[in-house]
Amino acid sequence: MAVASLLCRSLMPLRRLAGLGSELEATRGGIQWHLDLTEGVDLAIYLFGRFESGTVRVFRRLLRPGSVVVDIGANSGANTLELARCVAPSGRVVAFEPTRYAVERLRRNLELNPTLSRVVTVEHAFLVDDDSREPMPEFYASWPLTGETTVDVHRDHRGQLKSAEGASRWTLDRYVKDKNIDSVRLIKLDVDGLEWSVLKGAGKTLARFQPFIVMELAPYVLDEREGSLEGIVELMREASYDFTDVSSGDKVPMSADGLRAKIPQGAGINVLARPMRGRGAGIPEAVSNELDAPRGEDHHLQE
């Protein structure tokens, strides 16, 4: 985020000199975007063509037309649209986003890409571990880079909370059952420390479909909710999953202490959680070898 802020502060004066503001529409990699260059994720798309290139490459290797994907923490669609392109025209992406701020931006980006929008179901909703009715929370949905918008941000990852007013509440298991979803190939999970809660509400879905899971692991954020890193590791081990670093292709320790030792304080990594039985055991050899190969070039801008 520090690097992104410097880039933004260099770019915005040039745009102002040219009579331009922070918002624009741009095409990157065949996808059209409405971008706000004072937002960290949007700036990455504008400058590099996509957000988290290594993660997108994993999507492309694991998905095919007709696949069903669940995007949990869709935000403005940085991954949603890439996922839609992988599974179109016959697949489906269910995109969960709890904040009105981000869900409106997501829908605007989908409107710019009508072919891809046909395979995306947007749910203004968030996923939890049970159906209890707790006070409506706020969620991190903005990563502002400049100006007054940088007040009231997380001290480390610099995210800004936004209201989830109007959002519905589901467990993934109940959603899958109620919506008659009969296949899930992949789950993308990035909910800024709430991953354990989501996974606890997805046990039946994991057991039934054995989906691949691409998720962010940031111990410093997870430790804000005591026991959540340990909970994720225990749940994934009981479900017979292992972890691979998306960027490097290296195996990741399946222990909380091992993850804390591997991941520097204040940082996070994206991991691919692969089932060691069922679908995971049936990965074609060529794909399995490619997933295990080092990916030193896949450095990406983390939120």
Q: What is the pLDDT of residues 270-302, one digit of tens each?
A: 999 999 875 444 444 444 444 544 443 333 333
pLDDT class of 96 with cuts at 50, 70, 90: very high
The confidence score (pLDDT) of residue 161 equals 78
Q: H helices of 141-298, where?
A: 172-178, 195-200, 203-209, 219-222, 228-238, 256-262, 285-292
Q: What does the pLDDT read at residue 300?
A: 33
What are the tens digits of pLDDT across the range 65-95? 999 999 999 999 999 999 999 999 999 999 9
CA distance 56 to 61: 9
Domains defined for the chain, CATH in brackets = 51-292 (3.40.50.150)
Phi, psi angle pair for 297, to nearest 5°: -85, 0
Distance CA 45, CA 29 (A): 10
Residue 296: predicted pLDDT: 39
pLDDT at position 134 is: 62
Amino acid (1-letter code) at residue 227: G
Q: Which residues of 48-72 are buried (b: 16+ CB within 10 A; e: fewer)?
A: eebbbbbbbbbbebbbeeebbbbbb
pLDDT tens for 146-202 read 754 545 766 666 667 787 888 899 999 999 999 999 999 999 999 988 999 999 999
* Cα–Cα dist 276/61, whole Å: 18
Q: What is the pTM of this model?
A: 0.86
What CA–CA distance (Å, rounded) separates 295 from 145? 29
* Cα–Cα distance list, 187 to 84, 137, 206, 228 (Å): 13, 23, 10, 19
SS3 for 143?
coil
Tokens of 89: 């025209």
Residues in the chain: 303
